[in-house]
């Protein structure tokens, strides 16, 4: 386990996050929402860091941290450059079995 990179913490704390289509579907279906993902990132740990096979980002990160309810939440994402700056792109998230 490793600490969350400062850049990811900074982006998430300012709500500079974008969700994939799957991520938006997960928000719509519940039980977790955007704030749960922010909380998991703020108080979680990096469980895995691997090269981004799409080439859009250098790495993608698997983070496990607490949702607002305290339940463990698995989040996979990457730092992405946009015209307006950088964002943390959430590929997927869901409840985690620890």
**What would the mean pLDDT of 46-61 be, rounded to a whole number?**
94
How many other C-beta atoms can be found within 10 angstroms of the C-beta atom of residue 61? 24
SS3 6: helix
Q: What pLDDT is stored for residue 56 in this prediction?
A: 86
Rounded distance between C-alpha atoms, residue 49 and residue 52, angstroms: 9
| 79 neighbors 57 (Cβ within 8 angstroms) | yes
Q: What pLDDT is stored for residue 98 in this prediction?
A: 65
How do strand 85-95 and strand 45-51 relate by DSSP bridges? unpaired
**Helices in 1-98 by DSSP H: which ranges?**
6-13, 21-29, 34-43
**What would the mean pLDDT of 22-50 be, rounded to a whole number?**
96
| 77 neighbors 89 (Cβ within 8 angstroms) | yes
- For the stretch 10-27, pLDDT in tens is 999 999 999 999 999 999
- For the stretch 55-95, pLDDT in tens is 889 999 999 999 999 999 999 999 999 888 899 999 999 99
């Amino acid at each position: 386990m490793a600490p969350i990179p400062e850049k990811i913490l900074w982006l998430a704390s300012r709500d500079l996050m974008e969700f994939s289509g799957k991520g938006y579907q997960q928000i719509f279906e519940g039980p977790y929402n955007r704030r749960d993902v922010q909380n998991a990132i703020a108080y979680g740990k990096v469980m895995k860091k691997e090269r981004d096979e799409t080439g859009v980002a250098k790495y993608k990160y698997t983070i496990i941290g607490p949702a607002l309810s305290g339940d463990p939440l698995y989040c996979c994402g990457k730092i992405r450059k946009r015209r307006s700056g950088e964002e943390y792109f959430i590929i997927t998230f869901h409840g985690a079995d620890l």
